[in-house]
A and B are shown apart, each in its own frame.
Chain A
Amino acid sequence: EDKVVQSPLSLVVHEGDTVTLNCSYEVTNFRSLLWYKQEKKAPTFLFMLTSSGIEKKSGRLSSILDKKELFSILNITATQTGDSAVYLCAVEATWNKLTFGKGITLSVRP
Chain B
Amino acid sequence: EAGVAQSPRYKIIEKRQSVAFWCNPISGHATLYWYQQILGQGPKLLIQFQNNGVVDDSQLPKDRFSAERLKGVDSTLKIQPAKLEDSAVYLCASSSLAGGPAYEQYFGPGTRLTVT
Contacts and interface: CB of A to CB of B under 8 A. Distances in A.
A41 B110 contact: yes
Contacts of B108: 42
B106 to A, nearest CB: 8
Contacts of A101: 42
Contacts of A88: 42-43
Interface string B87-116: 000010001000111110101111000000
A96 B95 contact: yes
Given A42-B91, A42-B110, A103 B41 contact: yes
Contacts of B99: 95-96
Q: Chain A interface mostly helix, strand, loop or mixed? A: strand
Interface in B32-78: 40-45, 48, 55-56
Nearest to B108: A42
A48 B103 contact: yes
Interface residues of A, number: 22
Nearest to B97: A96
Contact of A34 (B91, B103, B107, B110): B103
A42 B101 CA distance: 18
Given A48-B101, A90-B102, A95 B44 contact: no
Contacts of B100: 96
B101 A32 contact: yes
Nearest to B42: A100
Contacts of B40: 102-103
B107 A42 contact: yes
Nearest to A45: B103
B24 interface: no
Contacts of B110: 41-42
B109 A96 contact: no
Interface of B: 31, 40-45, 48, 55-56, 91, 95, 99-103, 105, 107-110
Interface of A: 4, 31-32, 34, 41-45, 48, 88, 90, 92, 95-103
8 contacts: A31-B102, A41-B110, A42-B108, A97-B48, A97-B56, A102-B41, A103-B40, A103-B42
